[in-house]
Structure 1
Amino acid sequence: MSSEKNMEDLNLPGVISIDDAYGRFETDDDGDRDASSSFSVASSAYTFRMEHGRRYHDYKTGSPFPHDEVSDENDYLLHELCLVLLDDRYYLAPIDTSSLNCVVDVGTGLGLWAEGVAERFPESQVVGIDLTPHARSIFPNCSYMLSDASEEWVLDDPTMKFDLAHIRSLFGSVPDWAALYKNCFDNMNPGGWIEHLEIEINAQTDDAEVPADSHIKYLSEFAHTHMTVASGRDFGISFGMKKLIEEAGFVDVQEKRLKVPLGPWASDPKLKEVGRLCERFYKTGLQGWLMHVCTRSLGWTSEQVNEACAKTFQELNNRQQHWYYLAVIVIGRKP
């Protein structure tokens, strides 16, 4: 199957049809729970710290986002969202599975994607790279490496070259994207593919009017105007990753943008489920995405962060707007 066909299979209407019942039914939502409360988390051989009731790790320069039970739930939700959105496919790159010998998952997190690929393709060797230590995989063909992926990769087998490099939802986490893409290129077999998926931080709606006081819209703009500058990490990588992947040396680079409803407002059953997952992903993620950068670099208090989250969730729960984001997928081949 050609890469063009793989990408075109995901075509959706330019305007998503709205479920007429949206806003007139109760939803099973626990998004109002206190996400700032602390959690009992097992100790690690590596250093972690607690700030404002959330747990962060300190390896290298650390991550601006928490690593705790709430972030774990957020990771699970994103994984499920992507599988539904991509019709149960783990990647779109046009790779013959017989040639899928070595795979790397950059920023693997809980390892959900890496272990899913290891299970689905037992003849492939899968390596997950992350700043957070990971327990040994139950799959013998899956292993993990504690490393900053934007620095030189020191693999257990220095001769290993990858056929697929997968990256997903690392906005705001990577200090040097050009270096990361170069590492993917340098550690890849000729003919191998890179695939990067990001949920673009740009809240949009097909509604005729957007409320001037929308907290959802404000925070999506705030991420670009303030958080990127304050953190030195790119919260808008989705807008530039195609160009950076091309500059790293990849060819046949293609980009696909898919609408992801924020909330179960679409009439299409698949998009309704995507929207339900996206809403929960948003609610479990927002406080963690804001807290570190806003309190350490922008002068906010933790109470101000929690108030911003509460107002945003209330707006979302009012079911007055039909918000969506874009899932941006870029694939490219090493010549």
Structure 2
Amino acid sequence: MSDDDTFVGDDDSEFFTVLQGRRRNVLNDRYMLPADEDEIRRYSYHHRILQFIFGGRNYVGPVKEVLTYPGVKHKRRVLDVGTGGGLWAIEMADEFPRVEVTGVDLAPIQPREVPPNCSFELCDLDHPSLPYTTLNYDVIHARSMHTGIGNYQQFVKELTRMLRPGGILILIEPDSQPVVDGHLLGIPPHDPCSTVTSTLGKRPHTSYASGAPGWFALWEAYRTCLQRKGIDVNVPSHLGAIIRQTGAYDHIRVQEATIPIGFWPKDVTLLTIGQLAWMEYDHLLPAMRPMLLEAGIPEWKVKVLIEDAHRDMYEPVMPPSVRMHVVHAIKK
């Protein structure tokens, strides 16, 4: 294809439509969250939360070692699938100026002015075969995008095909199962010599819905909508198993963190994370509205679901959390 065929100019209106008052992508009917300014802002909060969890870095695993190892003759490349607002790809390009970083998303919502070694592409990743070269990438990063993928196992197989031997696959997915408790876990600093699969601490206990009825009701409605769209809502907690099923990886490390949502943590770092998560979810809850309405839920009920969930977040009887699943693995 020529540059004219693939270049997105100043007028990108053909890549968007409006659904229930919110702008969204036109490439994938399965992914229902918006693609507008409020959603870009939410992406930025989500990005900063993960940086705090990873100790100020943008990644887990020996990414720096892979991208800076001397004596490698091929051009090193990073692929960020589901790049969203593009912050991760841009910051990786800044950190590794000799590495070619490509971000892929459903909509052109990324900045136009980016580092010279960073570029963005449009692609619907919800297909059995992806238009990317085999054995071409040293690091592939995919986060918070399983809600747009009908067959996540096949998706991981495609990412594996595209990854070079010795390359790193990083998968990060938040759980949609509602959690309200005070058990907080963090991801410890990366041990580059670690070769074992591990789970951080014990699984937090999910409290009774009576402590946050609005919070539980909204998330259960959201999960039902995802299932009707053909989404496996259990993917986040099964990331490790999905990677193992490929048989293509060594050194698989499975980690889990429970992120506070709100201003209730006493620890200064956790309080900062909780504040960022509060701002993210303050944007996420109304972003669910188009999906809930398209699923046939009456508008008055959608309004009540979102308002009640907001109330449980603003004035928590039992403070909410979100469980984050993180896996990185090295290809054989």
TM over 0.5: yes
Greater mean alpha carbon deviation, residues 243-252 or residues 162-171: 243-252
Matched, 1:57 2:21: no
The code of the aligned residue for 2:325 comes to V
Aligned to 1:94: 62
Aligned to 1:66: 34
Greater mean alpha carbon deviation, residues 311-320 or residues 43-52: 43-52
Aligned to 2:232: 234
Distance in 1 of aligned mates of 2:266 and 2:177: 22
Matched, 1:166 2:138: no
Q: 2:262 touches 2:278 (CA, 8 Å); kept in 1?
A: yes
Q: 2:93 touches 2:99 (CA, 8 Å); kept in 1?
A: yes
Q: 1:149 touches 1:183 (CA, 8 Å); kept in 2?
A: no
Out of 150, 158, 163, the position equivalent to 1:188 is 163
Aligned to 2:195: none
Aligned to 2:243: 245
1:307 is displaced (CA, Å) by 2.3
Q: 1:136 touches 1:143 (CA, 8 Å); kept in 2?
A: no
The code of the aligned residue for 1:216 comes to W
The code of the aligned residue for 1:125 comes to E
Change (3 A) 1:247 1:159: closer
Distance in 2 of aligned mates of 1:46 and 1:236: 34
Change (3 A) 1:51 1:228: closer
Greater mean alpha carbon deviation, residues 105-114 or residues 235-244: 235-244
Same amino acid, percent of matched pairs: 22
Change (3 A) 1:43 1:68: farther
Aligned residue runs from structure 1 range 76-115, under 5 A: 76-95=44-63, 96=65, 97-99=67-69, 101-115=76-90
Change (3 A) 1:302 1:116: farther
Distance in 2 of aligned mates of 1:102 and 1:211: 45
Matched, 1:147 2:123: yes
1:202-246 per-residue CA deviation (whole Å, 9 max, x = no partner) reads: 23233696452611123333443x123211123332122211122
Aligned residue runs from structure 1 range 203-282, under 5 A: 203-206=178-181, 210=208, 212=210, 214-224=213-223, 226-248=224-246, 249-282=248-281
Distance in 1 of aligned mates of 2:145 and 2:28: 16
Distance in 2 of aligned mates of 1:85 and 1:125: 25
Change (3 A) 1:135 1:325: closer
Change (3 A) 1:185 1:55: same
The code of the aligned residue for 1:107 comes to G
Greater mean alpha carbon deviation, residues 43-52 or residues 319-328: 43-52
1:135 is displaced (CA, Å) by 5.1
Distance in 1 of aligned mates of 2:36 and 2:20: 12
TM-score (norm 2): 0.80
Out of 311, 327, 333, the position equivalent to 2:308 is 311
Greater mean alpha carbon deviation, residues 274-283 or residues 171-180: 171-180
The code of the aligned residue for 1:76 comes to S
Q: 1:150 touches 1:183 (CA, 8 Å); kept in 2?
A: no
SS of equivalent to 1:201: coil
**What is the Cα-based RMSD across aligned positions, in Å?**
2.3
Out of 73, 77, 91, the position equivalent to 1:116 is 91
Distance in 2 of aligned mates of 1:125 and 1:116: 12
Out of 290, 293, 298, the position equivalent to 1:292 is 290
Unaligned runs of 5+ in 2: 1-9, 70-74, 183-204
1:255 is displaced (CA, Å) by 0.8
Q: 1:231 touches 1:293 (CA, 8 Å); kept in 2?
A: no
1:55-84 per-residue CA deviation (whole Å, 9 max, x = no partner) reads: 112124462111111111111110111111
Distance in 1 of aligned mates of 2:255 and 2:125: 24
Q: 2:180 touches 2:321 (CA, 8 Å); kept in 1?
A: yes
TM-score (norm 1): 0.79
Change (3 A) 1:47 1:104: closer
SS of equivalent to 1:172: helix
Unaligned runs of 5+ in 1: 1-41
